[in-house]
Amino acid sequence: MADSVLSDDEVRAIDAYWRAANYLSVGQIYLLANPLLREPLAPRHIKPRLLGHWGTSPGLNFCYAHLNRTIRARDLDMIYVMGPGHGGPAAVANAWLEGTYSEVYPAVSQDAEGMRRLFRQFSFPGGIPSHVAPETPGSIHEGGELGYSLAHAFGAAFDNPDLVVACIVGDGEAETGPLAASWHSNKFLDPVRDGAVLPILHLNGYKIANPTVLARIPEEELVQLFDGYGYMPLLVSGDEPESMHRKMAAALDQALDEIAAVQRAARSGRTSARRRWPMIVLRSPKGWTGPKEVDGLPVENTWRSHQVPLSGVRDNPEHLEQLAEWLRSYRPDELFGEDGRPAEALRLLAPEGDRRMSANPHANGGLLLKPLALPDFRDYAVSVDKPGTTLTEPTRTLGTFLRDVVKANPSNFRIMGADETASNRLGDVFQVTDRVFAGERLPTDEHQAPSGQVMEVLSEHLCQGWLEGYLLTGRHGLFNSYEAFIHIVDAMFNQHAKWLNVTRRLPWRRPIASLNYLLSSHVWRQDHNGFTHQDPGFLDVVLNKKPEIVRVYLPPDANTLLSVGDHCLRSRDYVNVIVAGKQPALNWLPMDAAVAHCTRGIGIWEWASTDGGEDPDVVLGCAGDIPTLETLAAVDLLRRLFPELRVRVVNVVDLMRLQPPSEHPHGLPDREYDALFTTDKPVIFAFHGYPYLIHRLTYRRAGHANLHVRGYKEEGTTTTPFDMVMLNDLDRYHLVMDVIDRVPSLGGRVAHIRQRMSDQRLAMRAYTREHGADAPEISDWTWPY
Amino acid sequence: MADSVLSDDEVRAIDAYWRAANYLSVGQIYLLANPLLREPLAPRHIKPRLLGHWGTSPGLNFCYAHLNRTIRARDLDMIYVMGPGHGGPAAVANAWLEGTYSEVYPAVSQDAEGMRRLFRQFSFPGGIPSHVAPETPGSIHEGGELGYSLAHAFGAAFDNPDLVVACIVGDGEAETGPLAASWHSNKFLDPVRDGAVLPILHLNGYKIANPTVLARIPEEELVQLFDGYGYMPLLVSGDEPESMHRKMAAALDQALDEIAAVQRAARSGRTSARRRWPMIVLRSPKGWTGPKEVDGLPVENTWRSHQVPLSGVRDNPEHLEQLAEWLRSYRPDELFGEDGRPAEALRLLAPEGDRRMSANPHANGGLLLKPLALPDFRDYAVSVDKPGTTLTEPTRTLGTFLRDVVKANPSNFRIMGADETASNRLGDVFQVTDRVFAGERLPTDEHQAPSGQVMEVLSEHLCQGWLEGYLLTGRHGLFNSYEAFIHIVDAMFNQHAKWLNVTRRLPWRRPIASLNYLLSSHVWRQDHNGFTHQDPGFLDVVLNKKPEIVRVYLPPDANTLLSVGDHCLRSRDYVNVIVAGKQPALNWLPMDAAVAHCTRGIGIWEWASTDGGEDPDVVLGCAGDIPTLETLAAVDLLRRLFPELRVRVVNVVDLMRLQPPSEHPHGLPDREYDALFTTDKPVIFAFHGYPYLIHRLTYRRAGHANLHVRGYKEEGTTTTPFDMVMLNDLDRYHLVMDVIDRVPSLGGRVAHIRQRMSDQRLAMRAYTREHGADAPEISDWTWPY
């Protein structure tokens, strides 16, 4: 590797920039006041509680300074993803040096007083978080929970052909599963229509308390590993700043030349062969330039520099002196003017305007967000003359709509799925696009191409991470998954919801497209795959997050799914969860009624009710396609068994309507809720998920004591669809039995009918088991009269 | 690679065994009757609903047959982990061929009638699941949710020096994050005290609908990748059975020789250098030996053979004929006798007794389970003369106990943690053991060694997968984690709970040690790491699983933590979740009282109450250490503000006590619940987690309408501990305000006191923010009088 990329002056300039960022990082961790050390450092200048992560910060600053050089030299459009996001001080330091921080937060001005505020606010109550966070300009990535940086980086690069995403991968983070899988994202990047990702694996050797795996394998293995992942690894290793500056600059130039060559080759159409993308392995000491030893123990280049290398500084004069020395080692007087402003030489090194990584609009994706071009979803409606007489696969219908969404938004919309898009019956999208795959392709492959808007990999983590990166940089998308396996990304969902929760409070962060989940192949129709595929609990995880962020929809048929799908694609800053079936299911509502029903989110189905609009004897609530089917089948039975019984059917599409308005913005006012469910009549509620969830949403409602919920209670195996509902007491017969048990006017005199129901459900079960039959309840359906 | 390992006779014999397993696999997917094709195949012999996964089955059968040869030849103690566990027919076929299946399930005898039942029951209602499942003898691994096979395999090998774990890794599964990280498990395996894992990456090229990544990268890259992961990859590739048998046998012999050499070298003490463990890459066609084409489309070696290659066989005479041909291609008459029993030649090929992989006791770990040698936890008690006067770090106290558990059980107990064991203050265990690490070690490292009982890697997936494998093979352990990040393994927890749920119903599966989680660094003390580290929602995920399986404990101090910890380590077949703090916290109960309180799981703290054992005016419930602290601080305030007010304090350790006994075996009878909480008095409940959870557990209780819960409501940032409770209205002052708002006898005349509380909480917040102070509420504590 050439060592001559930089002139001596350039080395000095970059080193100064790096020293400034390091100084500002240390200052944030330690100082309350006296930011420029204009007076001797005293205990009262030190924060009473020392928080923050020093260890990774000098490495982050090092990369940032060097990337800045390349941005200026090549006029690059580049963003910076910090995997070791606990290095918050580094991100903030660079944003302040570039001026962005003061533009976004004017109180933290680019002068001595601003620097004092910058230091004081860090990891201080009422100030800013210790990690790279939504509050940090230039970031699309929170480094609190590790593992997602590289997936985010690739997501940001998709459909951004002119963007380079520099992604620092920590060697701790690199041990996580999601990160280990993310390296293979290079097989899903199209050098023609996508931008580039430049991973920089930062081997600083240690986690909180342990060495890292990748820092402790032979270099030969390390190179083989990244060769094997399909990269061209470039190694930069050492601890002497000057030579490291030269090596890093040379490696970056080589990497960026290589990226340009890959893109030129691909975009000129000269070659279709996959070329290796470069990546950099930077091996530098943890806590580089920090204290070498503290209290006789080695600190720099050990895990002891992970957080705060010098503790108890207020009370320990020796540590205080060591801190002063450490700060002075960066020679702040050379770096900052009398007024505290960064020296002009430094300011000239920073890129300008939107080219600053801290100000790049891609890192505040809402700035770039264009609404989707959406066809009218009504055009895809299933015709419904009479409820419950025709069968449609709801997700297949949605697929026809999505096909045209894909087509109308060729570089603005992607569908992610873990090898399940066709299985979830969205296959019509393949009429207009392909699955992206940059690996070898064979003649027998179908819908595989280097370019496409569907991304399939058998990793929910990658699907989620890519989509997050794509959305955070201002685009739109949908993640379709088997319902049970979306739990794999519970933690990622949590973090994204937290991100949205914070960004909604930051006026300078512009709204981004919602994260849309389509959960199909759901619990009630996993009779064939069995118990492991039956889990509707993602909804419970989702509803723990802030009500302002989360939305859950359970459209009962094809037309309601279309309406809900369209709504979600138009929304901003939410996480929308849609649960919908893929199996042939009865259509209930013509499109106009579906739109009206979805707009209300909850409502009485008068055509299915027998209360004639008057006071009912019992309310049957339902949410979800199969619970709706079983509920209407129960009404069918009740009509015949008890013609005089006044039954009201309430269907819920928008689950949040059940909560009081004090708990969720969609919450139905008590008066309206009571008008639907009554305050004194028994309510039998058939629910798609775990029954407790409905109680949790409704426990404040007046009629809650009368509410009886059926749902999934962890019963299931490989069996028939009917057996699935029966094992969980959600079947039509059991719902009738529930009505019998709870409507006092029926009590006593109908024990024989209850027994008949009990017999019939066993007979139905035996029938389906005997015939290994698929959903006999649908073909036997006799609704309506 | 030598091709001469097998004689021609051996090739024929292995091929016959393979054909038999393939025949039995196809039979399970298709046949209701006529198992031996003794009459012409007719539609009535075919299952009405065709379910199952053919694609991976021949590969699984191929490996199984070849491993059997090596078991016999080398007298190996080997188990078989099937990553592509949807290939259920293969596992069942082999267990039946080996006779194990009929031993476990006598009705499925090793004869024609048994074969008919074997076929019929597969993926049939009332029969067995379509995947490798708990019902499958010889398996510790369900392949429904992909990604965990290799971690399970390593967990099984730890502390089992004579065991070889053959692990088939599917190339679909290999795309998942957990699996991609699992390859690095070789850096955590000690060749001296642990057994060996032999990974066999099965590249059959396709998932449900897509090619796989690893099958479509150049072979050079593939080899580099596994070299880089630190293995010695051996390649076996082809589709012609005879040559494939020879190649596979040679590769296996080479791999097993290599394993023996690694172990010999390590165990002789001759070398401490890390040697590369072998692994095999088997590249064979998906759906190998199945139909090549169906309806003019290629099937073998494409994704079309993933599940059922020939559909509609009952109604499609052409498909029926093709199925008959396919079945006959295995020449069943050579493989099975007139009576349907496997031919003697086949039976002689199978290993015998416990050497059969389907009967190996390691795969039914409860058979091997030895109780832990446990020191008396009372010996580690913190002395408590008066409640609330001394401070202890609860997890540090537990650590002293765990240290001696580790010591007393050197090859039977492991602690897993994602780089957090010391941070969670269990560091005393390092007095007696080390962290296992087989990578390079440096002089500055602490407690790193090739051998140890603590396993730390920055991957919750690996910690969980290793521990599951360790427990399922009959050992004990504990997983300590930051509370927020345990969500990373939500899906893995779900699957393990489902596994336990099924095995509890299988008498031949012996009980195994519980999976114990210690969640520390919890939501209320992540004021320094901020919002991303604050999530108590794992409890909600846990409580969706079967009550028979799950237990949640919230010990409020050190002694109760000891008592709970001891209890969990003795339990079987549960998932125990313990949430406990690591920060200095007040001690409430002396050991005897702690044991009594934990045994009841819930109880009135009379010493803290002011109701004099009579009817209270208000009940303050609490669960969790910080909520208990705030509750007792609120009582302290109430005593001073309203000396006449009768306050009762109820502390909950075992969360399940809150549920009715109909819902959970630990549920408190209504009468006892009412005696604690009253049926008519206001209850202010301070809870560790999301407040809804308490409502969900108690909504059936008589006094539920009077229950008001405070807990985490997604408010938090980097701030002070007091600000954390205040942001979520869980602070002492707010609890007093809640009492004022809800106790009618106080109403009206105390508005000024309410205002004072409101002022005081703001003042306290300002104080902690101003001073960036750590938990001033503890040092200011004035309890008791």
Three-state secondary structure readout of B129-154? CCCCCCCCCCCCCCCCCCCCHHHHHH
Nearest-CA distance from A474 to chain B in Å? 22
Nearest-CA distance from B275 to chain A in Å? 12
Distances (CA, A) of B461 to A487, B176, B468, B518, B719: 13, 11, 10, 16, 30
d(CA A674, CA A670): 6
A782 Cβ neighbours under 8 A, 6+ residues apart? A636
DSSP helix/strand/coil, A224: helix
| Per-residue pLDDT band at A746 (split at 50, 70, 90) | confident
Per-residue pLDDT tens digits for B308-358: 999 999 999 999 999 999 999 999 999 999 999 999 999 889 999 999 999
Report CB contact under 8 Å: A541, B544.
Answer: no
d(CA B524, CA B726): 11
Given CB atoms, is B222 within the 8 Å cutoff of chain A? yes
Residues of chain A with C-beta less than 8 angstroms from the C-beta of B172: 419, 458
d(CA A485, CA A500): 23
d(CA B707, CA B618): 10
Per-residue pLDDT tens digits for B472-513: 999 999 999 999 999 999 999 999 999 999 999 999 999 999
Does pLDDT of B396 surpass 60?
yes
The CA dihedral of B338, B341, B343, B349, to the nearest 10 degrees, is 180
Nearest-CA distance from B444 to chain A in Å? 7
Report CB contact under 8 Å: A490, B494.
Answer: no
Report CB contact under 8 Å: A695, B696.
Answer: yes
Residue of chain B with shortest Cα separation from A298: B444
Would you list the DSSP string of A733-750?
HHHHHHHHHH-TTTTTTT
Per-residue pLDDT tens digits for A652-694: 999 999 999 999 999 999 999 999 999 999 999 999 999 999 9
Report CB contact under 8 Å: B714, A501.
Answer: yes
Nearest-CA distance from A636 to chain B in Å? 27
Q: Which of A422, A529, A531 sits opposite B209 (nearest CB)?
A: A422
Residues of chain A with C-beta less than 8 angstroms from the C-beta of B719: 125-126
List, edge to edge, every strand of the sheet that includes B77-82.
B77-82, B163-170, B196-203, B277-283, B231-237
Given CB atoms, is A145 within the 8 Å cutoff of chain B? yes
| Per-residue pLDDT band at A748 (split at 50, 70, 90) | low
Radius of gyration of the CA atoms of chain A, in A: 30
Nearest-CA distance from A608 to chain B in Å? 30
Average pLDDT, chain B: 94
- Whole-number pLDDT of residue A2: 47
Nearest-CA distance from B456 to chain A in Å? 8
Share of chain A above pLDDT 90, in %: 88
Query: Hey, which residues does B234 pair with through a beta bridge?
Result: B280
Report CB contact under 8 Å: A224, B222.
Answer: no
Does pLDDT of A369 surpass 90?
yes
Given CB atoms, is A43 within the 8 Å cutoff of chain B? no
Given CB atoms, is A422 within the 8 Å cutoff of chain B? yes
Residue of chain B with shortest Cα separation from A549: B714
Residue of chain B with shortest Cα separation from A230: B221
Place of tokens 């059922």: B308
d(CA B427, CA B708): 39
Distances (CA, A) of A193 to A200, A232, A263, A432, B6: 23, 21, 9, 17, 52
Residues of chain A with C-beta less than 8 angstroms from the C-beta of B768: 125
Cβ burial, residue B700 (10 Å; 0-12/13-18/19+): middle
Query: Which homologous superfamily is A8-350 in?
Result: Thiamin diphosphate (ThDP)-binding fold, Pyr/PP domains (3.40.50.970)
Domain spans, chain B: 10-362, 377-585, 601-779
Is residue B26 a contact partner of residue B175, using CB atoms and an 8 Å limit? Answer: no
d(CA B139, CA B137): 6
Per-residue pLDDT tens digits for B189-245: 999 999 999 999 999 999 988 999 999 999 999 999 999 999 999 999 999 999 999
Residue of chain A with shortest Cα separation from B700: A705
d(CA A475, CA A362): 10
Given CB atoms, is A132 within the 8 Å cutoff of chain B? no
- Whole-number pLDDT of residue A271: 66
Does pLDDT of A541 surpass 80?
yes
Does pLDDT of B776 surpass 50?
no
Mean pLDDT score, B379-403: 95
**Omega of the bond leading into B387 within 30 degrees of 0 (cis):** no
Residue B538 tokens, joined: 């794992």
- Whole-number pLDDT of residue A528: 83
Does pLDDT of A111 surpass 80?
yes
Q: Domain B10-362 is of which CATH architecture?
A: 3-Layer(aba) Sandwich (3.40)
| Per-residue pLDDT band at A182 (split at 50, 70, 90) | very high
Q: Is the dihedral of CA B440, B446, B452, B453 positive or negative?
A: negative
d(CA A723, CA B336): 35
- Among A50, A86, A145, the strongest candidate for a mutation testing the B interface, having the largest count of B CBs within 10 A, is A145
Mean pLDDT score, B266-274: 77
The closest of B724, B531, B299 to A549, measured between CA atoms, is: B531
Given CB atoms, is B679 within the 8 Å cutoff of chain A? no
Nearest-CA distance from B334 to chain A in Å? 31
- Whole-number pLDDT of residue A272: 62
Report CB contact under 8 Å: B720, A419.
Answer: no
| Per-residue pLDDT band at A730 (split at 50, 70, 90) | very high
Nearest-CA distance from B96 to chain A in Å? 20
Per-residue pLDDT tens digits for A146-164: 999 999 999 999 999 999 9
Nearest-CA distance from A384 to chain B in Å? 30
Quote the ipTM score: 0.96
Q: Domain B601-779 is of which CATH architecture?
A: 3-Layer(aba) Sandwich (3.40)
- Whole-number pLDDT of residue B777: 45
- Whole-number pLDDT of residue B4: 63
Determine the number of helices (DSSP H) and then strands (DSSP E) in chain B: 25, 22
Report CB contact under 8 Å: B228, A230.
Answer: no
Is residue B534 a contact partner of residue B716, using CB atoms and an 8 Å limit? Answer: yes
Given CB atoms, is B706 within the 8 Å cutoff of chain A? no
User: Using CB atoms and an 8 Å cut-off, which of residues 501-530 of chain A contact chain B?
Assistant: 501-502, 528-530
Q: Which of A131, A456, A696 sits opposite B696 (nearest CB)?
A: A696
The closest of A233, A183, A225 to B231, measured between CA atoms, is: A225
- Whole-number pLDDT of residue A209: 87
d(CA B357, CA B95): 8
Cα angle A142-A147-A148, degrees, rounded to a multiple of 5: 60
- Whole-number pLDDT of residue B272: 63
Mean pLDDT score, B64-91: 96
Look up residue B628 and give its amino acid.
T
Residue A193 tokens, joined: 């229509």
User: Using CB atoms and an 8 Å cut-off, which of residues 152-181 of chain A contact chain B?
Assistant: 172-173, 175-181
- Whole-number pLDDT of residue A709: 98
The closest of B55, B129, B46, B61 to B95, measured between CA atoms, is: B61
Report CB contact under 8 Å: A144, B423.
Answer: no
- Whole-number pLDDT of residue B780: 46
Mean pLDDT score, B756-776: 76
The closest of B174, B186, B129 to B148, measured between CA atoms, is: B174
| Per-residue pLDDT band at A772 (split at 50, 70, 90) | low
Per-residue pLDDT tens digits for B351-384: 999 999 999 999 999 999 999 999 999 999 999 9
Report CB contact under 8 Å: B180, A175.
Answer: no
Distances (CA, A) of B356 to B78, B248, B320, B350, B398: 8, 20, 35, 7, 41
Distances (CA, A) of B633 to A277, B601, B627, B636, B730: 60, 22, 10, 5, 11
Is residue A1 a contact partner of residue A316, using CB atoms and an 8 Å limit? Answer: no
Report CB contact under 8 Å: B208, A490.
Answer: no
| Per-residue pLDDT band at A785 (split at 50, 70, 90) | very low
Report CB contact under 8 Å: B224, A225.
Answer: yes
Would you list the DSSP string of A406-464?
HHH-TTTEEEEESS-TTTTT-GGGGGT--EE--S---TT--SEESS-SEEE-S-HHHHH
Q: Which of A205-219, B129-143, B755-769 has the lowest mean pLDDT?
A: B755-769
Q: Which of A48, A439, A461 sits opposite B773 (nearest CB)?
A: A48
What proportions of chain A, in percent to the nearest 5, are helix, strand and coil?
Answer: 45, 15, 40
Radius of gyration of the CA atoms of chain B, in A: 30
Query: Which homologous superfamily is A389-585 in?
Result: Thiamin diphosphate (ThDP)-binding fold, Pyr/PP domains (3.40.50.970)
Taking the model in full, what pTM does it have? 0.97
A573 Cβ neighbours under 8 A, 6+ residues apart? A500, A503, A504, A511, A512, A514, A549
Nearest-CA distance from B702 to chain A in Å? 10
Share of chain A above pLDDT 70, in %: 97
Does pLDDT of A439 surpass 90?
no
Nearest-CA distance from B606 to chain A in Å? 30
- CATH entry 3.40.50.970 includes domain B377-585: yes
Residues of chain A with C-beta less than 8 angstroms from the C-beta of B129: 530-531, 717-718
- Whole-number pLDDT of residue A277: 97
Look up residue B271 and give its amino acid.
T
Q: Is the dihedral of CA A142, A148, A150, A153 positive or negative?
A: negative
d(CA A210, CA B442): 11
d(CA A594, CA A596): 5
d(CA B50, CA B27): 11
- Whole-number pLDDT of residue B528: 83
Mean pLDDT score, A172-198: 97
| Per-residue pLDDT band at B784 (split at 50, 70, 90) | very low
Q: Which helix (H) or strand (E) holds B765?
A: helix B751-771
- Among A658, A696, A706, A779, the strongest candidate for a mutation testing the B interface, having the largest count of B CBs within 10 A, is A696
- Whole-number pLDDT of residue A4: 62
| Per-residue pLDDT band at B785 (split at 50, 70, 90) | very low
* CB neighbour burial string for B732-759, b if at least 16 within 10 angstroms, e if fewer: bbbbbbbbbebbeebeeebeebbebbee
Q: Which of A176, A208, A211 sits opposite B448 (nearest CB)?
A: A211
- Whole-number pLDDT of residue B783: 42
Output the CATH code of domain A602-779: 3.40.50.920
Report CB contact under 8 Å: A487, B501.
Answer: no
Beta-carbon pairs below 8 A across chains A and B: 354
Say yes or no: do domains B377-585 and B601-779 share a fold: yes
Given CB atoms, is B275 within the 8 Å cutoff of chain A? no
| Per-residue pLDDT band at A381 (split at 50, 70, 90) | very high
Report CB contact under 8 Å: A502, B531.
Answer: yes
Is residue B616 a contact partner of residue B638, using CB atoms and an 8 Å limit? Answer: no
Does pLDDT of B12 surpass 60?
yes
Is residue A463 a contact partner of residue A455, using CB atoms and an 8 Å limit? Answer: yes
Given CB atoms, is B353 within the 8 Å cutoff of chain A? no
Phi/psi of residue A78, each to 5°? -135, 140
Q: Which of B228, B298, B718 sits opposite A444 (nearest CB)?
A: B298
The closest of B291, B354, B280 to B22, measured between CA atoms, is: B291
Per-residue pLDDT tens digits for B511-534: 999 999 999 999 999 888 889 999
Distances (CA, A) of B360 to A612, B71, B164, B166: 66, 12, 11, 13
Nearest-CA distance from A35 to chain B in Å? 18
The closest of B148, B301, B90, B278 to B215, measured between CA atoms, is: B301
d(CA B667, CA B374): 28
Determine the number of helices (DSSP H) and then strands (DSSP E) in chain A: 25, 22
Three-state secondary structure readout of B48-61? CCCCCCCCCHHHHH
Would you list the DSSP string of B221-283?
HHHHHHHHTTEEEEEEE-S-HHHHHHHHHHHHHHHHHHHHHHHHHHHTTS--SPPPEEEEEEE
Given CB atoms, is B372 within the 8 Å cutoff of chain A? no
DSSP helix/strand/coil, B325: helix
